[in-house]
Each structure stands twice: as structure tokens, then as C-alpha cells.
Amino acid sequence: MIPLNHPSRSMAKNWYHVILLIGVGLMLFPFVWMFLTALKPEREILAVPPTFFPRTLTFENFTDIAHRIPVFRYFMNSVLVAVVSTVAVLVTSSFAGAVFAKYDFPFKNALFMIILGTTMVPFECYMIPFYLMVSKAGLIDSYTGIMLPLVITSFGIFLMRQHIATIPDDLMDAARIDGCNELGVFTSVILPLSKSALSALAIFQFMFGWAFFVWPLIVTNSSELFVLEVGLAMFQNQYAVEYGSVMAGASISVVPLIIVFLIFRENIVSGMALSGMKS
Amino acid sequence: MSARITLTKSRGLERRKRNFVVAVIVPTVLLYTVLRIVPIAGTFYLSLYEWNLIKPNRPFVGLGNFAKLATDETFKVALVNTTVYTVLVVTISVALALLLALALKRKSRLGNLYEFAYFLPVVIPMVPVSILWKWMYDKTYGIINFTLNAVGLQGVGWLTDPNIALYSIIIMSIWKVLGYYMVLFLVGLRNVPDEYYEAGSVDGAVGWNAFRYITLPLLKPMLLYVCVIATIQAFNVFTPVYVMTTGSQSAPAASVRVLVYEIYQNAFRYFKAGYASAQVVVLFAIVMIVSIIQFKLLRADHY
């Protein structure tokens, strides 16, 4: 065996860091390039060779896209859809999670398996009947229509069940002896002790709602209701070659998520990792 | 006396618990039925009808839609493209993610940077990601071709050359999903107790042998899970194809046509809801069969 302090060992160790750092560069470069392009005037974007850092720093790409499409409105639509669907998921997941974790009732396991089983079927596989249903309900081209698929998630119920199962029954019984009814037990014991799981789920669902694309694309016709993702896709379809404004638009969609990710990285990564625990 | 009080009390408690369960489960089941079960079943139902959204009569055609699919050349192209996409994205991203996870298993000072960088593409939505890769892939002004030219290589039409476009989307997709699978593998790897490796090293299981006989068998459940979700995700690819290949810069449509795009077009452009549903059923069947095969392969042999 090669001794721990042998030079070839530390060489090997450094080599793997070098490779990992090259990987870091490859992962981050597209975002860097997007921001740099968004901040350059057109003549620099289309120059051969292109400038790397903008020689003249400009926000004209941002004002330009704001003139042509109501990008702020799209942004607020995305915020609305993501926030409302997050609240809905927090409510449905915490109640259902609590009942699956702490109460007994007939067909409980079968029901739970069905709920988990639906995660195997992606939205694309039932979007056509979903569309017909929403259209029959007269909800095409409405905020309710956009949010409808997002109000429940099996992942949320699973996550909350796993977490609430770890809360000791004694605490719930103590609250009952103090005169709490079951709703009281839920609000005064279960919810306060589930803050970490609820915040992980909230971040997760917010990002999911923000990124949701195929459904808003189908269900909205009028541009006032476009979420940012749909508005951007439409904009770049029309003005594909105007890379400066297109990159400005992409930056507007990316920046909030980078901020959320920087702040909540550990929650997000561990929440994503939890989804793997299902196996 | 006191026994009777506890009895009535516990009866009251049982009733309150039951009411709470009913108040929660009934709406949950209703939501699941309306928002998931009915539409899923509806897809199978629709696939048996010639259900044109703009015509009033909807004749039952049995397996007619499926018979038509068998001779549909565009569908065949989409099927082949989606399969190529899935095989390459799943195998390459799973292999790379596993290597990355092995490299990142031990905590290092750069651990936070690695986690941030490799995971960032996972949290960024597919639309801006596709848009910014489209810009990098641009044949004339894109940074990738510029770099290739700078080192003396010939640039290519990443999204405009029919022989390359699909692979360009595959490269981007691997970049996008890599971090997710990496994190899942890290969870699996960190669950393997160190004692196993210590015990293994006594028997000479180090390096490749330790990986082959200790890590891999214990990682199998996670490997299975990652393969299954990666396959489901990949078979349902839509957004990058929609964003990168439609619009004014008309790209080679046929060479990047994928199943969900085909379904989207048939259902929402040509209003052939029945026919598109039959395509969904085929997609669904393929994904299920592949998942079952993966289960069999990764579950069957024990070490």
C-alpha cells in the first residue's frame, strides 16, 4: 500500500480537485455567460471575437425587453402561481401527512400506496383529459386553471408523513388532556414541531411552481396571464436572434432562484435528497 | 364510576379522532380522484375514441388509434429520438453522477462550492436554461463555436445540423440533471457505514474491489431509484425541444421530434385528443416496461 504521505498520493488528491474544479467551471459558466451577455450592448454581443467582460456596461437589454413584453407582469404572475400553490400544498400536505402518520383508519396503507404511485405518472401523461376537464369547468385562461394541478403533491404528503411520524404520541396526548380537540392538537403540537419540514417543502414547491411550464403553456391564451416561463419562451420564439434582450429575460427568471438557492441551499439539497428516501 | 368516565371520555376521543380523519381524508381523496386518478384513467378512455376537440361526434374506434400509430412515420421518428435521448441521458448522467458522488463523499473544504455549482442547474427552470444554451450553441456568434475555432477546430451547427441537434439537447440535459442524481447517490453512499470498508480492507477489498463488493451492492436500491426516475424524466422530455427548436430560427424539426412534443402538437395544435391519448398510452407503457425491467435487473441478483 502507498503510505499516506507519499507524494503520488497528494498528487492524486490534487488531480481529483483539479477535475472537480473544471467541472465547477462547466456547471457555472453558462450562467456567467448569460449575465455577461445581458449586460453588453448588441455590438459587443455580435462582435467577432466576442468581448468576455462587457466593455460598456449597459442595462439597455433589460429596458428593451420591458418595453416589448410586460415582463414585470409575467414576473408577478409567476410569483402569484408559485406562492398560492405553495400555500395550498403546505395545507394539504400537512393535514394529510398528519393523518397518515398518526391516525388509523381502513385502507390507510392502500391509500398511501396509491398516492405515492401517482408520482410514477408524470403530468405529461394525463394533461389531455386534464385540459378537457378544466375547459369543461370554464377555467381555461384563468389563474385557478393554471394552479389546479399544483395544489397537491404526493411528495409533500410523503415528506410530512415521514416528519410527523417522529413526533412523540405523548405530546399529542398531553395536549388532548389539556382539552385540545384534534384540530387543536394539529395546530398547537404538530405544526409548531414541523417547521423544518414545512420550510423545506415550501421552498421545494415554490421552485417547482416557478419552473412549471407545459401546463401554463397549454392553459393560457391571453398574454396578461402568462407566467414568466411562458412569456420568455414566446418572446424568444419571436426575437430569437436578439440575444441581449433574450438573455436579460432569462436573467430575470434565474436571479430569484439563485438567491433562493444561495440562502436555502442546505434545506433544498436535503429536501431533494429526501425524495430519494422513498426507495 | 371513574371507569365509566374514562370510557365515555375515550369514546368521545375516538369519535373526535374519527371526525378529524374523515375531515382530512375525504377532501384528500376527492382531490386525488379529480386531479390525478380521473385524468390518468381518462387518457386510457380517450385513446379508444376518435376524439376531435372541434367536432361534435366522437366515434368509438377501439384500438384503431393504435393501429394508425403503427404506420405513423412521424411517431416512429419521435419514438426513436426519445429512446436515443433517454438511453444516452440516463446512462451518461447516472454514471457521471455516481463518479461525482464518490469523489465528493469525503467532506472537503471545497465541499460547499462543489455542492452549489453541481446542484445549481437543477434548481433553475428548463426555459431559461434552454434559452441560454441556445445562445451558446449559436452557429455564428455562440461561445462554443468561437472556442472551437480558437483552438483550430471547425465549429458546427449545434442546433441546425439535423445529425447533431438531438445530441446537443442531450448534452444540455445531462448538465441539467447531473447534480440531482449526484445528491441522491451521496445520500446512498453516506448511509454505508465506515466499518464495512474497514472490515473489507482487512480482506483486501480496497479501491475498485471495495467499490465492486461493498459500495455497489449497498447502493443498489438507490441506483435503482435513480435509474427509474431518470428514465421517467427523460422519456417525458419536452421543454428544451420546444424552446430550442421552434420559432423563427427554424431548426431541423424531424431530427429532434420527441414523444411529448408530438403529443402536444396532436392534442393542442391539431386537436386530435383521442389520437394523442393513444400516443400517451404507448409512452406510458414503454416507461412502465422499462421500469419493471430495471427493477428485475437491479433487484434479482444478491451478493
The ipTM (two decimal places) reads: 0.89
pLDDT at residue B155 greater than cutoff 70:
yes
pLDDT of residue B2: 46
pLDDT of residue A11: 59
If residue A100 lies in a helix (H) or strand (E), which one and from where to where?
helix A71-102
Phi, psi dihedral angles at B49 (to 5 degrees): -120, 155
Q: Are residues B236 and A258, on separate chains, in Cβ contact within 8 Å?
A: no
Q: Are residues A95 and B24, on separate chains, in Cβ contact within 8 Å?
A: yes
Return the CATH number of the domain spanning residue range A61-278: 1.10.3720.10
pLDDT of residue B252: 52
Q: Are residues B43 and A125, on separate chains, in Cβ contact within 8 Å?
A: yes
Q: Are residues A213 and B239, on separate chains, in Cβ contact within 8 Å?
A: yes
Cis before B39? omega within 30? no
Which residue has better confidence, B54 or B286?
Answer: B286
Q: Are residues B135 and A243, on separate chains, in Cβ contact within 8 Å?
A: yes
Which stretch of A61-65, A221-225, B183-187, B190-194 has the lowest confidence by average pLDDT?
B190-194
pLDDT of residue B3: 46
Q: How far apart are CA B156 and CA A59, in angstroms?
A: 31
**Angle at alpha carbon of residue B161, lines to A32 and B154, rounded to 5°:** 65
First-to-last alpha carbon distance for chain B, in angstroms, is: 62
Quick one: what percent of chain B has pLDDT higher than 70? 93
> Out of B17, B238, B277, whose CB is closest to A214?
B238
**B-chain residues within 8 Å CB-CB of A268?**
119, 123
Mean pLDDT of B31-49: 95
Q: Where are the domains of chain A?
A: 61-278
Note whether B13 contacts A: Cβ–Cβ < 8 A: yes
Note whether B275 contacts A: Cβ–Cβ < 8 A: no
Looking at the complex, report in whole angstroms how far the Cα of residue B134 sits from the nearest Cα belonging to chain A: 9
Q: Are residues A124 and B123, on separate chains, in Cβ contact within 8 Å?
A: no
Burial of B232 (0-12, 13-18, 19+ CB in 10 A): buried
Which residue has better confidence, A194 or B214?
Answer: A194
Note whether B271 contacts A: Cβ–Cβ < 8 A: no
> Out of B187, B226, B243, whose CB is closest to A233?
B243
**B-chain residues within 8 Å CB-CB of A21?**
110
Q: How far apart are CA B220 and CA B188, in angstroms?
A: 9
**A-chain residues within 8 Å CB-CB of B243?**
233, 236
**A-chain residues within 8 Å CB-CB of B36?**
118, 121, 126, 152
pTM: 0.90
Q: Compare all CA atoms of chain A with the CA of B283 and give the residue at the minimum distance.
A: A125
Cis before A256? omega within 30? no
Q: Are residues B273 and A128, on separate chains, in Cβ contact within 8 Å?
A: yes
Q: Compare all CA atoms of chain A with the CA of B96 and give the residue at the minimum distance.
A: A23
Phi, psi dihedral angles at B57 (to 5 degrees): -90, 140
Average pLDDT, chain A: 89
Which of A35, A46, A126 to mutate to probe the B interface, most B CBs <10 Å? A126
Looking at the complex, report in whole angstroms how far the Cα of residue A176 sits from the nearest Cα belonging to chain B: 9
pLDDT band at A9 (very low <50, low <70, confident <90, very high): low
pLDDT band at A50 (very low <50, low <70, confident <90, very high): confident
> Out of B16, B35, B122, whose CB is closest to A149?
B35
Residues 117-176, chain B: which have Cβ within 8 Å of A?
Answer: 117-129, 131-136, 138, 141, 143, 146, 150, 175
Q: Are residues B246 and A241, on separate chains, in Cβ contact within 8 Å?
A: no
Pairs of residues, one from chain A and one from chain B, whose beta carbons lie less than 8 Å apart: 265
Q: Are residues A276 and B188, on separate chains, in Cβ contact within 8 Å?
A: yes
pLDDT of residue A129: 95
**Angle at alpha carbon of residue B21, lines to B15 and B23, rounded to 5°:** 100
Mean pLDDT of A69-95: 96
- In the structure grid, which three cell numbers stand for residue B117, read together? 455549482
Nearest to A248 by CA among A262, A238, A236: A236
Looking at the complex, report in whole angstroms how far the Cα of residue B247 sits from the nearest Cα belonging to chain A: 4
Q: What is the pLDDT of residues A110-156, one digit of tens each?
A: 999 999 988 888 999 999 999 999 999 999 999 999 999 999 999 99
Q: Are residues A50 and B141, on separate chains, in Cβ contact within 8 Å?
A: yes
**B-chain residues within 8 Å CB-CB of A24?**
113-114, 117-118
If residue A235 lies in a helix (H) or strand (E), which one and from where to where?
helix A228-238
pLDDT at residue A82 greater than cutoff 60:
yes
**B-chain residues within 8 Å CB-CB of A45?**
141
